[in-house]
Amino acid sequence: MNLHRRMLLRARGGRILMVFFCAGLIGSAAVPAPATDALDQLMTRLRQHQHGHVSFTEVHISNILDRPLTSSGELFYDAPDRLEKRTTRPKPERMVLENGQLSFERRHKEYRVALADFPQAAPYIEGIRATLAGDRPALERAFRLSFSNSGDQWTLSLIPLDAHVAAEVAAVRIDGLSDVIKTVTVQRVNGDRSITTLGAVLDP
Amino acid sequence: MSRRAASILVWIALLAAAGWIVAHAHYTADLSAFLPARPSPAQRALVEELREGVASRLILIDIAGGEGAQRAQLSQDLATRLRANPAFMSVNNGRNVASEIDRRFIFTHRYLLSEQVTADHFTIAGLRSAIAESIDSLASPAGFLARDLLPTDPTGETLQVLGQLSPDTGPRSEYGVWVSANGSEALLVAQTRAAGGDTNGQEQAVGVIEAEFGRLRASIMPAATGIGLRVSGPGVFAVRARATIIREAIRLSVLSSLLIATLLMLVYRSVRTLALGLLPVVSGALAGAAAVALGFGVIHGVTLGFGVTLIGESVDYSIYLLIQARRGLEGNAAAAWISSFWPTVRLGLLTSLCGFASLLPSAFPGLAQLGLYSMAGLLAAAAVTRYVLPALLPEQWAARPLDSLGRGITRRIDRLQSYRQLLWLLPPLAVAVVYAHRGELWNRDLAALSPVSVADQQFDARLRSNLGAPDVSDLIVISAADPDAALHAAETVGARLSGLVQAGELAGFETPARYLPSLALQRQRRDALPTGDVLRTRLRAALAGLPLQATRLEPFIAAIEQARTDPLLDRSALAGTSLASGVDALLAQRGDRVVALVPLRAPATGSHPFAIDAAHVNAALGAALPGVSIAVLDLKHESDALYAAYQSAAIRLSLLGLGVIVTLLLLTLRSIARVVRVIAPLILAVFVVSAALIASRQALTILHLIGLLLIVAVGSNYALFFDRRIAPADAGERTTMLASLFVANLATVLGFGVLAFSTVPVLSALGMTVAPGAFAALLFSALMARPVAPHGVLS
List the beta bridge partners of residue B595.
B479, B588
Q: In this complex, which of B68, B146, B165 lies closest to A1 when CB atoms are compared?
A: B165
Q: In this complex, which of A8, A66, A87 lies closest to B548 when CB atoms are compared?
A: A66
> Mind telling me how many Å the CA of A33 is from chain B's nearest CA?
33
Distances (CA, A) of B590 to A156, B345, B474, B479, B483: 65, 51, 20, 9, 11
* B28, B31, B32, B36 alpha-carbon torsion, rounded to 10°: 150
B408-466 confidence digits (pLDDT tens): 888 888 888 888 888 888 888 988 988 888 877 777 666 666 667 777 878 887 777 77
Quick check: B284 and B384 in contact, CB under 8 A?
A: yes
Q: What is the mean pLDDT of residues B159-188?
A: 80
Angle at B118 between CA B113 and CA B120, to 5 degrees: 150
Three-state SS at A34: coil
CA nearest neighbour of B35 among B363, B368, B301, B302: B363
Number of Cβ within a 10 Å radius of residue B263:
17
pLDDT band at B279 (very low <50, low <70, confident <90, very high): very high
B478-507 confidence digits (pLDDT tens): 989 999 999 999 999 999 998 888 888 888
What pLDDT does residue B632 have? Answer: 82
Angle at A139 between CA A136 and CA A140, to 5 degrees: 90
Task: Pick B3-26+237-436+671-784's CATH classification: 1.20.1640.10, 3.30.450.40, 1.10.3720.10, 3.50.50.60.
Answer: 1.20.1640.10
Domain positions in chain A are: 3-201
CA nearest neighbour of B706 among B408, B366, B232: B366
Domain positions in chain B are: 3-26+237-436+671-784, 57-233+519-573
What pLDDT does residue A204 have? Answer: 62
Length of chain A: 204
| Spacing of C-alpha B301 from chain mean position | 11
Do strands A69-78 and A51-61 pair parallel, antiparallel, or not at all (unpaired)? Answer: antiparallel
What pLDDT does residue B346 have? Answer: 92
CATH number of A3-201: 2.50.20.10
Q: Which of residues 116-155 of A touch B (CB under 8 A)?
A: 116-117
Cα distance between residue B739 and residue B677, in whole Å: 21
Q: In this complex, which of A1, A14, A94 lies closest to B166 when CB atoms are compared?
A: A1
CB within 8 Å: A4 and B72: no
What pLDDT does residue A36 have? Answer: 54
List the beta bridge partners of residue B633.
B475
Residues 6 or more apart whose Cβ sits within 8 Å of residue B779: none
| Spacing of C-alpha B483 from chain mean position | 30
B142 reaches A (C-beta below 8 A): yes
Shortest CA distance from B168: residue in chain A: A109
CB within 8 Å: A3 and B98: yes
> Mind telling me how many Å the CA of B75 is from chain A's nearest CA?
13
Three-state SS at B633: strand
Burial of B105 (0-12, 13-18, 19+ CB in 10 A): buried
Shortest CA distance from A100: residue in chain B: B175
* B253, B256, B261, B267 alpha-carbon torsion, rounded to 10°: -150
CB within 8 Å: B547 and A65: yes
Q: What residues of B are in contact with residue A16 (Cβ under 8 Å)?
A: 144
Choose the weakest-confidence range: B131-145, B373-387, B665-679: B131-145
Cα distance between residue B196 and residue B173, in whole Å: 28
A50-88 confidence digits (pLDDT tens): 888 889 998 988 888 898 988 899 988 887 778 888 888
> Which amino acid, residue B210?
E
A11 reaches B (C-beta below 8 A): yes
Distances (CA, A) of B205 to A31, B86, B234, B450: 58, 10, 12, 21
CA nearest neighbour of A71 among A89, A53, A93: A89
CA nearest neighbour of B378 among B354, B358, B361: B354
Cα distance between residue A90 and residue A106, in whole Å: 14
Three-state SS at B199: helix
Q: What is the mean pLDDT of residues B229-247?
A: 82
What pLDDT does residue B328 have? Answer: 62
Choose the weakest-confidence range: A146-150, B103-107, B534-538, B647-651: B647-651
What pLDDT does residue B244 have? Answer: 80
Percentage of chain B beyond pLDDT 70 is 89
Could you give phi then psi for residue B198, rounded to 5 degrees?
Answer: -90, 85
Q: What residues of B are in contact with residue A17 (Cβ under 8 Å)?
A: 141, 143-144
Shortest CA distance from B548: residue in chain A: A65
Length of chain B: 795
In sequence order, what E strands does A62-120 have?
69-78, 82-89, 93-98, 101-106, 109-114
Cα distance between residue B786 and residue B795, in whole Å: 19
CA nearest neighbour of B82 among B581, B557, B487: B581
Cα distance between residue B319 and residue B301, in whole Å: 28
pLDDT in tens, chain A (204 residues): 343 333 333 333 333 333 333 333 333 333 333 345 888 888 888 888 888 888 999 898 888 889 898 889 998 888 777 888 888 888 788 888 777 777 777 666 677 766 665 554 555 566 667 777 788 887 888 889 999 988 889 999 988 887 877 877 888 898 988 888 888 888 888 888 888 898 877 766
B704-723 confidence digits (pLDDT tens): 888 898 899 889 889 998 88
What pLDDT does residue B136 have? Answer: 81
Cα distance between residue B389 and residue B277, in whole Å: 8
Burial of B353 (0-12, 13-18, 19+ CB in 10 A): buried
B170 reaches A (C-beta below 8 A): yes
A76 reaches B (C-beta below 8 A): no
CB within 8 Å: A2 and B151: no
| HSE toward the beta carbon, residue A105, CA cutoff 13 A | 12
b (16+ CB within 10 A) / e for B372-390: bbbbbbbbbbbbbbbbbbb
Q: What residues of A are in contact with residue B547 (Cβ under 8 Å)?
A: 65-67, 69
| Spacing of C-alpha A15 from chain mean position | 9
What secondary structure letter does DSSP report for B310?
H
A176-197 confidence digits (pLDDT tens): 888 888 888 888 888 888 888 9
Burial of A110 (0-12, 13-18, 19+ CB in 10 A): middle
Cα distance between residue B720 and residue B714, in whole Å: 11
Report CA torsion sign: B307, B308, B310, B311: positive
B566-598 confidence digits (pLDDT tens): 999 999 999 878 788 778 878 888 778 898 988
Q: In this complex, which of A91, A99, A192 lies closest to B140 when CB atoms are compared?
A: A91
B185-215 confidence digits (pLDDT tens): 999 988 898 887 787 888 999 999 999 999 9
Query: Is B382 a residue whose pLDDT tops 90?
Result: yes
pLDDT band at B18 (very low <50, low <70, confident <90, very high): very high
> What's the distance, Cα to Cα, between the start and end of chain A in Å?
37
CB within 8 Å: A17 and B168: no
Q: Which residue has the higher pLDDT, A203 or B474?
A: B474
| Spacing of C-alpha B651 from chain mean position | 21
Q: Which residue has the higher pLDDT, B296 or B222?
A: B296
Q: What is the mean pLDDT of residues B771-783?
A: 93
Q: Which residue has the higher pLDDT, B537 or B189?
A: B537
Cα distance between residue B377 and residue B288, in whole Å: 4
What pLDDT does residue B242 have? Answer: 77
What pLDDT does residue B737 have? Answer: 86
Distances (CA, A) of B449 to B188, B445, B702: 28, 8, 8
Quick check: B296 and B365 in contact, CB under 8 A?
A: yes
**Which of B162, B180, B554, B574 has the highest number of chain A CBs within 10 A, making it the mutation to test binding with A?**
B162
> Which amino acid, residue B25?
A
A65 reaches B (C-beta below 8 A): yes
Q: Which of residues 163-192 of A touch B (CB under 8 A)?
A: 192
B132 reaches A (C-beta below 8 A): no
CB within 8 Å: A3 and B103: yes
CB within 8 Å: A14 and B144: yes
What pLDDT does residue B795 have? Answer: 30
Could you give phi then psi for residue B126, rounded to 5 degrees?
Answer: -65, -45
Cα distance between residue B772 and residue B410, in whole Å: 21
CB within 8 Å: A4 and B163: yes
Quick check: B391 and B8 in contact, CB under 8 A?
A: yes
Query: Is B725 a residue whose pLDDT tops 80?
Result: no
Shortest CA distance from B105: residue in chain A: A3
Q: Which residue has the higher pLDDT, B232 or B535?
A: B535
List the beta bridge partners of residue A93.
A87
Helix (H) or strand (E) holding B498: helix B483-502
Burial of A190 (0-12, 13-18, 19+ CB in 10 A): middle
Mark out the alpha helices in chain A (DSSP H runs): 3-10, 14-22, 38-47, 122-133, 136-142, 163-166
Q: Is cis: bond before A80, omega within 30 of 0?
A: yes
Shortest CA distance from B161: residue in chain A: A4
Residues 6 or more apart whose Cβ sits within 8 Å of residue B614: B474, B632, B634, B637
Q: Which of residues 277-316 of B touch A (CB under 8 A)?
A: none
CB within 8 Å: B151 and A64: yes
B741-761 confidence digits (pLDDT tens): 999 999 999 988 988 888 877
What secondary structure letter does DSSP report for B603?
-
Distances (CA, A) of A146 to A38, A153, B551, B608: 11, 14, 40, 61
Mean pLDDT of chain B: 84
CB within 8 Å: A7 and B94: no
Distances (CA, A) of B411 to B417, B554, B738, B783: 10, 109, 11, 12
Residues 6 or more apart whose Cβ sits within 8 Å of residue B298: B25, B26, B27, B28
CB within 8 Å: A13 and B148: yes
Shortest CA distance from A59: residue in chain B: B139
